[in-house]
Amino acid sequence: MRWRLKFIAALVVTIVGLGSPASGAASEDTHKAAMGALELAKHHYRKEHFVKASKLFLEAFQLDPNPGFLFNAGRSLQRAFKLDEAQKSFEWYLRVEKKDQRGRRRAKMHLSEIRTTRLQLARARKEGANPAVAPPASTATKISKKAA
């Protein structure tokens, strides 16, 4: 609850700051609002509310275009198994972030994990379409005798 109050307060400050003629104050207030969204996003991530966290990371990015917010949104979406959205977020991160080579490697690694997960899901769906073969009768009899 405390996080929400901070976030709402930061948004109010941003809205008021955007109306003021001082661009430096507006920019500072926007940064504060982004940091409020970031803190709330981290809170939801820790609570494993990954979809909510991803939305807040993206909101923080809209307020303050820090590429790390895109990376965090992608990771949240990946943890929520929103693979298409996670892939878009990591690809967006790679288009925006040019300097952080470690972050770029990690984003590429997560994109690879997403591709692997998709292949595994496709394989499982394909195998799931065939009915499971029942064990031979002799095995079923042995199992039931052991249970008795």
| Per-residue pLDDT tens digits for 21-46 | 444 555 888 999 999 999 999 999 99
pLDDT of residue 22: 43
User: Could you tell me the CA-to-CA distances from 75 to 15, 38, 97 in Å, in that order?
Assistant: 29, 14, 16
Does the pLDDT value for residue 56 go beyond 50? yes
Does the pLDDT value for residue 141 go beyond 80? no
Residue 73 and residue 54 in contact, taking contact as beta carbons nearer than 8 Å: yes
Q: Choose between 89 and 23: higher pLDDT.
A: 89
Q: Choose between 139 and 124: higher pLDDT.
A: 124
